[in-house]
Structure 1
Amino acid sequence: MFAEQRVVQFTCQGSSLIGILDLPERPLSRGVLVVTSGPQYRIGHHRHFTLLARVLAGRGIPVLRFDHRGMGDSEGEARSLDAVGEDMHAAARAFFAQVPEMRELVLWGLGDAAMAALRYAQADQRVSGVVLLNPRLAPRAGEAEAEAEAGPGALAQRVLAGLVGFDGAALVILGGADPAAQQLPALVARHELRCKCVTIAGAGRTFASRAWRDEVAEISANWIASW
């Protein structure tokens, strides 16, 4: 399906934010808002969001990806992903204004952005689903001591608590090369959650190969259209 690509400018707390909208000629009523993480190059495996948007838009799913305040082409002070709720709200408002056919949102996030998406999803009734790509389940360097004090698997438990608190549908896509990722399916299996877990064998944290990115896009598109 043909999809138009357009630049979208909107404001958040007085700052100008920039997004890219991939708009199919016959958009479905369920769109995808991509939540990005910190500053990054936009070539190589960091083109993942662009390639994902093209696949989804080709299936009729409108997609908006944007830079939150302090990142990329957007204005404002840099902030942590714990403080981008207002940015997501502004992006969602602009998304619905651009696509009047849209009735609900799926949030899609990688790593730390997956947790930011999950937190926001609990506060916005228009969000009917989340796609969490390798949500961070192990501490970064320098965080190991604090995480050990919190007990093993504390980050996985945090993701699980977010899923328990969200009433919508959830898809978790994990890279099989990340040992920490294998904690989550076992935890989800113990609870009656509306959550599907998929592991891509051999894939790392950022799904850096074209084959892995294509598989992520196909899994995401098929799941979004399945309910």
Structure 2
Amino acid sequence: MIEQALLIDCDGTPMTAILAMPPVPASVGVVIVVGGPQTRVGSHRQFVLLARALAAAGVPCLRFDYRGMGDSSGEQRDFERVADDIGAAVASLRTRVPSIKHVVLWGLCDGATASAFYAAESAGVSGLVMLNPWVRTTAGEAAALVSNYYGKRFMSADFWRKLLSGEMDLLRRLREFVANWRSARARNVSDSEPSNSLPDRLGVSLARFGKPILLITSGNDFTAAEFLRAAESGYLSKGLARCQITRHAIEAANHTFSSAAWRADVENATSGWLNANFPD
């Protein structure tokens, strides 16, 4: 495996990238799309290790910094304005590895959502790996808090110790719970027309995409919990139903899969899914 440092032109602005290249590349290549204010390295070097693991398995993998992030020039932009950046990275991978037949986008958090938005409008993407996709809404966040956080807190010995010892402001906690419960109940999913909410827009994009997706979720993560709840109904549910979904849950994992065991689980799940869906 060889790592090559690249500069990718994106509308006249250079983006810094690293291509992990195996001696004999497979027919599928991966572009890692970062999430949040993140760089091509990833939290706890997650993207570096993933790219190397995939390349060791024969899959060329490109990771890059958006314009305005990390070592790339230009104006910083949010995940809904990075389609040109992703497109330039995909084009660069195809140019550098002309033998590949398929490109898969791999994204965590809002990188997963940005990948889906791009893939819905591009015929050049054959699959998505989406980890804990970002679909944040006020009501969705509240629902995740009510269903995931408060239940665990009420069952916690530490919660009752603080309550009985007077360390906790019970009235304030009750007000927070009631406010979140009301917000969660206010969630309104239309079955007739998609709203402008992030879950509905992601659902519409997935319906347009309609190709293989590996969905990896963490069991100890509010972002994953909010996504899974939103995916139970509405346009997000409909969009997922139009795709060929493979689900892989890592119940103990946190948002960024920060332990070596969780990272290895993600790497193995990704490699296995690529082999099953894009054999040479």
TM-score (norm 1): 0.87
Alignment partner, residue 180 of structure 1:
226
Distance 1:167 1:112 in 2: 19
Among 60, 78, 81, the alignment partner of 2:79 is 81
Alignment partner, residue 151 of structure 1:
188
Alignment partner, residue 24 of structure 2:
26
Alignment partner, residue 171 of structure 1:
214
Alignment partner, residue 193 of structure 1:
243
In structure 2, what residue type is equivalent to 1:162? S
Contact 1:105–1:128 (CA<8 Å) still a contact in 2? yes
Distance 1:122 1:42 in 2: 23
Question: Is 151-160 or 4-13 further displaced after alignment?
Answer: 151-160
Q: Deviation at 1:159?
A: 3.7
Secondary structure of the corresponding residue to residue 71 of structure 2:
coil
Residues 91, 45 of structure 1: alpha-carbon distance in 2 compared, 3 angstrom cutoff: closer
Secondary structure of the corresponding residue to residue 49 of structure 1:
helix
Residues 42, 25 of structure 1: alpha-carbon distance in 2 compared, 3 angstrom cutoff: closer
Secondary structure of the corresponding residue to residue 164 of structure 1:
helix
Alignment partner, residue 217 of structure 1:
267
Contact 2:17–2:40 (CA<8 Å) still a contact in 1? no
Distance 2:207 2:124 in 1: 18
Residue-pair matches, total: 223
1:126-141 superposed matches below 5 A: 126-139=124-137
- More strand by percentage: 1
Residues 43, 11 of structure 1: alpha-carbon distance in 2 compared, 3 angstrom cutoff: closer
Q: Deviation at 1:126?
A: 1.7
When the two chains are superposed, the root-mean-square deviation of aligned CA atoms in Å is 2.8
Among 32, 44, 47, the alignment partner of 2:45 is 47
Question: Which one has the largest radius of gyration?
Answer: 2
Distance 1:88 1:165 in 2: 18
Residue segments in structure 2 that go unaligned for 5+ positions in a row: 143-179, 191-196
- More helix by percentage: 2
Distance 1:118 1:15 in 2: 24
Q: Deviation at 1:23?
A: 0.4
Q: Deviation at 1:165?
A: 1.9
Residues 184, 105 of structure 1: alpha-carbon distance in 2 compared, 3 angstrom cutoff: farther
Q: Deviations along 1:84-141, whole A, 9 cap, x unmatched?
A: 111111111111111111122000000011010001111221210000011024447x
Distance 1:105 1:207 in 2: 24
% identity of equivalent residues: 37
Residues 41, 8 of structure 1: alpha-carbon distance in 2 compared, 3 angstrom cutoff: closer
Alignment partner, residue 276 of structure 2:
226
